[in-house]
Structure 1
Amino acid sequence: MKSIFKILVLVFSITTTAFLAFSCGEDKPETKSLDELRKEEGIPVKVEEVKYQPFTKYLTFFSKLTGIKEATKGSIVGGKIEKINASVGDYVRQSQVIVEFDIYNPGVQYEQAKSAYENLKKNYERMKALLAAGETSQANFDAVETQYLVAKRNYESVRQMLFIEAPFDGILVDMKVNPGDNVKGDVPLFTVSQTNKMRSKIWVSEKEISQFKKGMKAVTEYNGQQFTGKVVEISLAMDPAMQAFFVEVEFDNPKGIIKSGVTNEIRILTYENPNAIIIQRNLVSKDENGNYVFVVQNNKAVKRYITNGNESGLYYEVSGGLQVGDMLVVKGASQLEDGSKVNVLQ
């Protein structure tokens, strides 16, 4: 038994030795480095053909929109509000009485002014008829006419204090008081606005003001609808309080969808080019000689220095250095050097 075990051990030792000897004598396959593979096969990249594309540049602001013509009427004297003759949203006419104060205001003496005016008006009409008939002198008529005109102006002034009228035709967009309120003098009562067109005053920096011109397109959205307008006025001097320049834009609002007083995003088209070469910002690198990108020519990377025109968001408008038809590297550029062999991936 022991002899058989010794024989098995001897056979195993001989087999193992022979296998190791065979393994050591076999040639190992040659392993190539990543750099060597890249030199042979090229650095993998993706490219896109350069084409003309439309390019637009908008400047965006948040600003309040109001009617093209808007005014707030206030109280001239204090007192109790007796009546309100219109509701918010109503269309009102110029000189229509909107708010009425109590006529028995001791500080106004409305009844006295009205009585004096009506009496002198009757006397004026009587003297006018007598003058026409030659039964009174011109001097007598002139004296009565002067008294009548003074009484009329006095009555109208007093009436305007108590009967507050709309300043022009428009929509009543705000009512700040209610019947029965006691208000002080010089407080706002209501606002009338012409909302068929809306205006907004935008404040821009000294750097931005040079980009604006009258007639430029403006865009805003309200309640899911887009409204297109234009720049109608540009300030020529900086406002000392705001330390900025104003630009006014105007939008058509024929159905009154945009409400007066809302603050909205307004975008102004300051530049457009329908046939531009544009690229994403992240494709542009920079060295001591300027901005550059890579294009592919004859399976090699070519470093192209470019000049930028306008820029907007994530995109540059290229004004020089690229041409339509160039194959621009859009992926893999970080591994490239000028002249690197490339493997364009489909």
Structure 2
Amino acid sequence: MDTIVPRKSRKNKYLLIGLPLFLLAAYVVFSSVTKKRGLDVKKGEITIKTVENAYFEDFIVFQAKVEPLNSMLLNVIEGGSIQEIFVGNGDFVQKGQPLARLYNPNTELGYMTQETSMIEQINNLNKVKLDLRNQELNLAKDLVAIEHDYLDAKSLYELNEKLFKEQILSKNEWEKTQENFRFQKERKNIIQQSIQKEKQANQIQIAQINQSQAIMQKSLSILRNNKKNFLVTAPLAGRLSSFEPVLGKNYVAGESIGKIDVMKGYKLLADVDEFYLEKVSQGQKGEIEYKGEMIPVTVSKVIPEVKNGRFQVELNFMSTEKLDLRQGLSFGVRLMLSEKSKSIVLPKGSFYEDTSGKWIFIVEGDKAVRKEISLGRENPLYYEVLGGLKAGDKAVTSSYKDYKEIEILNFK
């Protein structure tokens, strides 16, 4: 009798063969996914700096030019064309010294017309005052005549009164004498009151005329002074700079034709990037190098108006020693923004442009590994390290332009 032999399942056979292949493929995929991407680089082509534990200074460096401590602009007060030039740029001038003369026939003619009109008005007011004075004089003459008539009537009244009492004078004559005396007395009183009121009115009117004349005389004086403004003179003693008027060129009123520098001390004037506008303030201290020595300076003024991405800062020298400076000299100013503080610092490098300070390559033996970091303040030399690095770490600080997707740098 034949024995039945059971057939082996091909399904199990395929399973035994396919399982190892699947596991192998899964391992390859997992390894390719989890393996860190590396790149071989020459060590000599990169820059490696050491993280330090040192004093961090928050400071900025910028260029500043030497300017006179005090200057005054020379502005054209009355517009016109340059007719004469008496001095040159760079000359030392004294206060009141003529510098240039302008010519404007229309303006000068206008001044002459105004001056003539003012003088005519002043003369008319003088005539009014003279008429008032003559009127008072005539009233005074009338009062003298009336006083005379009153005194005559009074004398006659006193005489006739005696004669009437002695019955020498008739009653009719006595009554006429009384009436004449009464008339002269009332006439005198009325004229005296009228003259008094007239004087008071005249005094008020004359006071107003005097006030008007005073204003007109002041205006006339200003007008005559304005005529002198065609001659540009030095408002103070000093040295002319940026003084370049051109003969025949027309300048409008208020336009500057130069400035006068008062040669009594110097200051520094700098244009600073607007990024530091909120960090720079009056009173901050800095220093410049002058003939091998560090000279202290301080911020005296911050002009917050931003032009072309920059704002202006004025600095004064703190040293009382007289410095042999020249206008236009340029110095590098190191301005302190905060006090020194102990901190972990990383030397600056091009890597920041590609990482924004969020990660960096740290050297570990013959390779450099990507690591997350946190940076704080910065100065022209260092970044302040807030986390991710410790003193003694060596970091790649050169450009990361080709390493943005790389996690390990292998040194060759």
Give the structure 2 partner of residue 155 of structure 1. Answer: 224
**Letter in structure 2 aligned against 1:101:** R
Is this contact kept in 2: 1:72–1:192, CA < 8 A? yes
Give the structure 2 partner of residue 145 of structure 1. Answer: 214
Q: Does residue 211 of the first structure (1) align with residue 276 of the second (2)?
A: no
- SS of residue paired to 2:220: helix
- In structure 2, distance between residues paired with 1:309 and 1:225: 32
Give the structure 2 partner of residue 108 of structure 1. Answer: 108
Give the structure 1 partner of residue 22 of structure 2. Answer: none
Report how far residue 184 of structure 1 moved. 1.7
Unaligned ranges ≥5, structure 2? 1-48, 130-201, 397-407
- SS of residue paired to 2:108: coil
1:76 to 70, 75, 78: 78
Give the structure 2 partner of residue 248 of structure 1. Answer: 313
Report how far residue 192 of structure 1 moved. 1.6
**Letter in structure 2 aligned against 1:250:** L
Report how far residue 247 of structure 1 moved. 4.5
Is this contact kept in 2: 1:63–1:265, CA < 8 A? yes
* Structure with more helix by fraction: 2
Unaligned ranges ≥5, structure 1? 1-47, 128-135, 337-346
Give the structure 2 partner of residue 173 of structure 1. Answer: 241
**Letter in structure 2 aligned against 1:174:** S
Report how far residue 151 of structure 1 moved. 1.9
- In structure 1, distance between residues paired with 2:313 and 2:360: 37
Report how far residue 71 of structure 1 moved. 1.6
**Letter in structure 1 aligned against 2:337:** T
The percent of aligned pairs where both chains have the same amino acid is: 14
- In structure 2, distance between residues paired with 1:235 and 1:190: 22
When structure 1 is superposed on structure 2, of 243-252 and 302-311 the one drifting more is 302-311
Tell me the alpha carbon deviations over residues 90-114 of structure 1, each in whole angstroms, 9 at most, x when there is no partner: 2644xx2432427896752689969
Give the structure, 1 or 2, with the largest relative contact order (CA under 8 Å, sep 6 or more). 2
After TM superposition, the score normalised by the length of structure 1 is 0.50
Report how far residue 157 of structure 1 moved. 1.0
- SS of residue paired to 1:318: strand
* Structure with more strand by fraction: 1
Structure showing greater Rg: 2
Give the structure 1 partner of residue 185 of structure 2. Answer: none
- In structure 2, distance between residues paired with 1:72 and 1:223: 35
Tell me the alpha carbon deviations over residues 37-70 of structure 1, each in whole angstroms, 9 at most, x when there is no partner: xxxxxxxxxxx99865343344344566644544
2:90 to 63, 88, 94: 88
- In structure 2, distance between residues paired with 1:221 and 1:89: 30
Is this contact kept in 2: 1:293–1:306, CA < 8 A? no
Give the structure 2 partner of residue 183 of structure 1. Answer: 249
Task: Output aligned runs, 1:20-39, within 5 Å.
Answer: none
1:193 to 250, 258, 261: 261
Give the structure 2 partner of residue 311 of structure 1. Answer: 378
**148 and 58 in structure 1: CA distance in 2 versus 1, 3 angstrom threshold:** same
- In structure 1, distance between residues paired with 2:347 and 2:339: 17
Q: Give the number of aligned pairs.
A: 255
- In structure 1, distance between residues paired with 2:370 and 2:242: 64
